Amino acid sequence: MSDLIHCITNPIAMNLSANVVLALGAKPIMAEHPDEVKEITETASALLLNLGNISTTRMEAMKISLSAALKKDIPVVIDAVGVSCSGLRRRFFFELNSFIDACRKMSLEQDTEGEDLKLLIKGNYSEIKSLFDETYRGKGVDAQENIDFSSVTEISMKLSEQLNAAILATGKRDVMSFAGKVLINDSGHPMMSLVTGTGCALGASCARFLAKEQSLHAVAKSCSLFGIAGEKAYEKVLEKEKRVGTGSFQAAFLDELFFLYEDSQKAENLQVCRR
């Protein structure tokens, strides 16, 4: 039976995220009504909470789903979209994090250390920096270009320890930190940033991989597969059409993601860099 990935995400990214989960061999469900999300989360293999295009209804639903996931020990991905430009989203993120801390303290069985990864905090360089430095502000939901790689690596490591969670900082080089370890992903293509919802769909991909294996390596495998699919998609469209548009690129990206995942041997042998 396929893993069910419960995604409470923004409507801008909903369709692409669902198709990414399907391409990765799992089943997506995008339920967000507060009266049904507890029941649905309890049957899921992973939960994605995406703060993009936030609404009162989704905020309420996220709290209910998060509670259900924590009680069932289901891995959770929180995609901190826009926290660098929105005080509302930043406050809500830390409200969710405080709730997680409270649940951990109440549960004697919760393993909050070691290799068992149950919580992943995802964001671009600006969003991760904003979670670490409350005085930092960005412009819009895109990462600011003046944040250097070494700085975000250090911030990710410190934030991981501070929040007792894995951190994924996305950019030209993706940085993943957890339990004192850091992994780097260099795959990807600039064209990916021109398709709306691609970053949010990566969060859904991470949730799908964490449903199978709760480890930092699973997050790295998700990022690697995603990036390689983008590279292959660009090359394929360019070879066929002699130039690449965003529409043809998106279709080719989903195809390549599907093909890469279908080839299980290649997927298992994806290389990630260790620091």
Q: What string of H, E and C letters represents the secondary structure of 118-160?
A: CEEEEEEHHHHHHHHCCCCCCCCCCCCCCCCHHHHHHHHHHHH
Provide the token pair at 21.
């989960």
Mean pLDDT of 140-162: 82
Domains observed in the chain: 4-274 (3.40.1190.20)
* DSSP notation for 189-209: -GGGGGSTTHHHHHHHHHHHH
How much is the pLDDT for 136?
Answer: 76
pLDDT, tens digit, for every residue of 78-103? 999 999 999 999 999 999 999 898 88
With CA atoms as reference, report the closest residue to 32 among 59, 3, 69, 2. 59
pLDDT, tens digit, for every residue of 225-259? 999 999 999 999 999 999 999 999 999 999 999 99
Whole-number Cα distances in Å, 58 to 48, 67, 273: 12, 14, 36
3-state secondary structure of 105: helix
**CB–CB of 91/97 below 8 Å?**
no
Mean pLDDT of 38-53: 98
How much is the pLDDT for 107?
Answer: 61
Mean pLDDT of 45-70: 97
d(CA 136, CA 115) in angstroms, rounded, equals 31
d(CA 198, CA 171) in angstroms, rounded, equals 12
How much is the pLDDT for 112?
Answer: 44
pLDDT, tens digit, for every residue of 132-149? 998 877 765 555 666 788
How much is the pLDDT for 140?
Answer: 59
Mean pLDDT of 61-84: 96
d(CA 23, CA 262) in angstroms, rounded, equals 8
Residue 230 carries which side chain, given as an amino acid letter?
G
Instruction: Tell me: pLDDT of 157 over 60.
Output: yes
pLDDT, tens digit, for every residue of 173-195? 999 999 999 999 999 999 999 99
How much is the pLDDT for 109?
Answer: 46
Provide the token pair at 34.
């507060």
